[in-house]
Structure 1
Amino acid sequence: MTFYICTACGTQFNEGSEPPSCCLICEDDRQFVPPSGQGWTDMAELRATRELIWTKEAKGIHSLQISPEFAIGQRAFLIEGPDGNILWDSVSLLDQTSINRIAAMGGLAAIAISHPHFYSSMMDWSSAFGDVPVYIHADDGEWVQRSGPAISPWAGEVFELNQAILVRCGGHFAGSSVLHCPWLENGEGALFVGDTMQVTLDRRYVSFMRSFPNLLPLSSRAVNWIGEAVRPFRFEAIYGGFSGRTIKQDGSRVVERSVLRYVHAIEGHTSQRE
């Protein structure tokens, strides 16, 4: 019996003697099945062929990313908090080196996931640290492919988590969320966004999509809602879900002007000649 992992999106499934017949995450219109078809691996194979790379992003913030790149290629974050360490988002690989390192840092107090594309091997991460709770928004519970008692759905628009705040933004998924940590960046605050908001390559804006790989936009109403959801919070930095996608200054103002830019474009206020 094996906990199979989809090689396209990195999601780990419930234990079985054979791979699942399909990956529901990939078959959804926000993701895709590769031209070569669905492929499968497991934790043992990942440990034999890849490693987790740690990068200190700022004081109290460490990113974790699989090398060589696997599946979607997202980064997770180990956030040092006043009430214990938080793992924000997850990756498919969990190696012994990282288990030892996190244990030496005090372990994990909680795991919080932005949306289903980053569920990956969240249950293995939880199990390795004493079945620590995994917080996902209840609106996205149908997308959980590996179940377990550690999964802790939260509902509503905000949820307090060890002096951090989970904020439901919607848009990408109904329960797509961000994490606000006010103690980081010398007390100026940091926002961890997964790709509920996608930090653009120029690192001057964020953008918003129902599907990034399939280029499905959101409505202006949905994007305005995202802006309203985070407006009460102040943050200097924005940490996106992928390597290099970090905005270090004026994060709150970046989101405000990004919402305005997106809405103007989607409503046709931007000339085709511009």
Structure 2
Amino acid sequence: MSGQSKDTPVWICPTCGNHYAAAETPPSSCVLCTDERQWVPPTGQRWTTMAELAEAGYRTEVRQVEPGLFGIGLTEPLGVGQRGMLVCTPQGNVLWDPPGYLDDKVLEELRALGGVHTVSASHPHMYGAIVDYSHAFDAPILLPEADAHWLNRPDPSVRTWSGVAEVVPGVTLVQCGGHFPGSAALHWADGADGQGVLLVGDTLLVTPGEDRVTFMWSAPNRLPLPEREVRQVVRALRPYRFDRIYAGWWDPVLRSGANHVVERSAERYIQFLRGDVALG
């Protein structure tokens, strides 16, 4: 499945879900979890492997989210718990934010959907099993130049980009910044019945009421994003038409009016940052 030897496993951090290069022993710590945007369990650093996860009962599941868009999730939580997305187009399929575990079942299902043309991710916490998916489909990995050094399993399939990159016609990577310098969104022009879809990971966070978005430098550590970064995110997305936003999990989803909601939510967020809100 991944080409790795059973004697030299790829090490997986179960806290963030990221993979490290095959080695006899795991690293002393996960550089993503020791960063202030993530966290190390109070009990200390833990490691697992793909084989251990399979033995523990991990399984993949693929669901259609809307015509031409399929979610890829896990039956058990791993890392930040993201649900990946496969955007299907006549020119090739784009895999976004892949989870940290995969099995033969998901590979068969993705092959039946036309395979994978390119793999990418919103930010380093969601790199997951990106190298395994790349190997399975001989697909390049597109990572923003600003964040590529966070991939702790180096691979020759990596290609870097900056600013904006069209992956296939109608599917565009947009570097927004914010959570990480290279934090990105994926714009799918044909999604939402031609009204446009934005896949954001947690570059933006859709709130539980599905009526607004918010912005965080670190969601788990409750650290807000400064005003200049919020404005940068909104500015990067403004040229694109999108009616719907899917964040990095099955729910919540911003189902309509997303262009206007992003602008309105950003201004409200900035009012709170500045203290321009009467609290009662």
In structure 2, the partner of 1:2 is 9
| C-alpha contact (below 8 Å) 1:85/1:110 kept by paired residues | yes
Q: Which amino acid aligns with 1:142?
A: H
3-state DSSP of counterpart to 1:38: coil
Q: 1-side partners of 2:103 and 2:40: how far apart? A: 27
Choose the corresponding residue for 1:235, options 235, 242, 267.
Answer: 242
Matched residue, 1:34: 41
Q: Is the 8 A contact 1:7 1:38 kept in 2?
A: no
Rounded to whole Å, the distance in 2 between the matches of 1:265 and 1:22 is 36
1:162 aligns with 2:159: no
Residue of structure 2 in register with 1:129 after alignment: 137
Cα distance in 2, alignment partners of residues 98 and 22 from structure 1: 30
Question: Which residue, 208, 214, 218 being the options, matches 1:207?
Answer: 214
Tell me, yes or no, if the aligned pair for 1:65 and 1:91 is still in contact at 8 Å.
Answer: yes
1:58 corresponds to: 66
| Matches for 1:1-274 after TM superposition, within 5 Å | 1-48=8-55, 49-130=57-138, 132-155=139-162, 157-163=163-169, 164-273=171-280
Once the 2 structures are TM-superposed, how far is the Cα of residue 245 of structure 1 from its aligned partner?
2.0
CA RMSD, aligned part only?
Answer: 0.9
Deviation of 1:272 (Å): 2.3
Structure 1: which 5+ residue stretches go unaligned? Answer: none
2:93–2:117 CA contact under 8 A, matched in 1: yes
CA drift at 1:41 = 0.8
Offset of residue 243 of structure 1: 2.2
Q: Distance in 1 between matches of 2:47 and 2:22?
A: 13
What amino acid is aligned across from residue 131 of structure 2 in structure 1? M
- Between the aligned partners of 1:183 and 1:93, the Cα distance in structure 2 is 29
Structure 2 residue runs of 5 or longer lacking an equivalent are 1-7
Structure 1 runs (4+) deviating above 6 angstroms are none
Report if aligned partners of 1:88, 1:111 keep a CA contact under 8 Å in 2. Answer: yes
Q: After alignment, is 43-52 or 1-10 more displaced? A: 43-52
The percentage of counterpart residues that share the same residue type is 38
- Looking at structure 2, the residues matched to 59 and 167 of structure 1 have their Cα atoms a distance apart, in angstroms, of 23
TM-score, scaled to structure 2:
0.95
C-alpha separation in 2, matches of 1:66 and 1:83: 27
Shift of 1:2: 1.1
* Equivalent pairs, count: 271
SS at match of 1:238: strand
Cα deviation per residue 1:174-211 (whole Å; 9 max; x = unaligned)? 00000000011111110000000011111111111110
SS at 1:234 equivalent = coil
Contact 1:82 1:162 in 2 (8 A): no
Deviations for 1:125-163, whole angstroms, at most 9, x for unmatched residues? 111112x111110000221100101111112x2111102
